[in-house]
């Protein structure tokens, strides 16, 4: 993957020590956020993990204003009901830490919640199920649903496991794609697939284990 460093991000960089290492290893990182509405804070964690009171503003402070590390934010509880509050809080934090919206990818399973982020200048991605694991019947129904969704929100990118790439390549050739290729022996067995998807200009980011 060394020829595609501009596409490679570290996966689940949710901890301070990992972030400190990742800043010098990757152009970008993926992290998980849970929005705490009562506190108006983003808790950095992947449910069901318990909170460590490490918040997104702490994360941005650690990155520092001089570092242009890009961020893939998997906001676990982002939905249409809280999207406006989340957008306002995100805008405030980025402004106070001198970071550009264009350097942020916002991801959720609820595509209707992403429209206002896209209009505000963020890159957005619709989290898809693992298409390659579905039965033929379920896969057909799911693809139909995704196509209808993208007709409504054509600006959205799509994100899923790299093993679903051949399906995305065939069904959504023009959509921006955000993939993860994490650990295990399959990574080495599928090296030709990974090389192919890295060469695809519609594949914008590939997450790797870190």
Would you say 170 and 144 are in contact if contact means Cβ atoms under 8 Å apart? no
Model's pTM, two decimal places? 0.95
pLDDT in tens, 169-183: 999 999 999 999 987
Distances, alpha carbon 95 to alpha carbons 37, 77, 90, in Å:
20, 23, 8
Q: Is 68 helix (H, G, I), strand (E, B) or coil?
A: coil
pLDDT in tens, 120-153: 999 999 999 999 999 999 999 999 999 999 999 9
């Amino acid at each position: 993957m060394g020829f595609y460093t501009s596409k490679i991000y570290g996966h689940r960089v949710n901890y301070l020590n990992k972030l400190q290492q990742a800043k010098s290893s990757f152009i970008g990182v993926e992290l998980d956020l849970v929005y705490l509405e009562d506190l108006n804070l983003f808790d950095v964690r992947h449910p069901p993990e318990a909170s460590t009171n490490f918040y997104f503003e702490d994360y941005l402070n650690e990155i520092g204003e001089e570092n242009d590390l890009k961020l893939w934010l998997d906001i676990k509880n982002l939905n249409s009901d809280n999207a406006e509050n989340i957008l306002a809080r995100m805008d405030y934090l980025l402004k106070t830490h001198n970071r550009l919206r264009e350097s942020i990818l916002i991801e959720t399973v609820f595509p209707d919640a992403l429209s206002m982020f896209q209009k505000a200048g963020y890159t957005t991605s619709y989290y898809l199920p693992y298409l390659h694991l579905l039965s033929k019947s379920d896969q057909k129904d799911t693809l139909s649903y995704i196509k209808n969704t993208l007709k409504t929100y054509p600006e959205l990118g799509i994100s899923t496991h790299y093993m679903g790439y051949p399906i995305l390549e065939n069904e959504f050739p023009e959509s921006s794609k955000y993939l993860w290729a994490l650990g295990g022996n399959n990574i080495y067995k599928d090296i030709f697939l990974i090389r192919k998807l890295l060469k695809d200009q519609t594949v914008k980011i590939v997450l790797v284990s870190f």
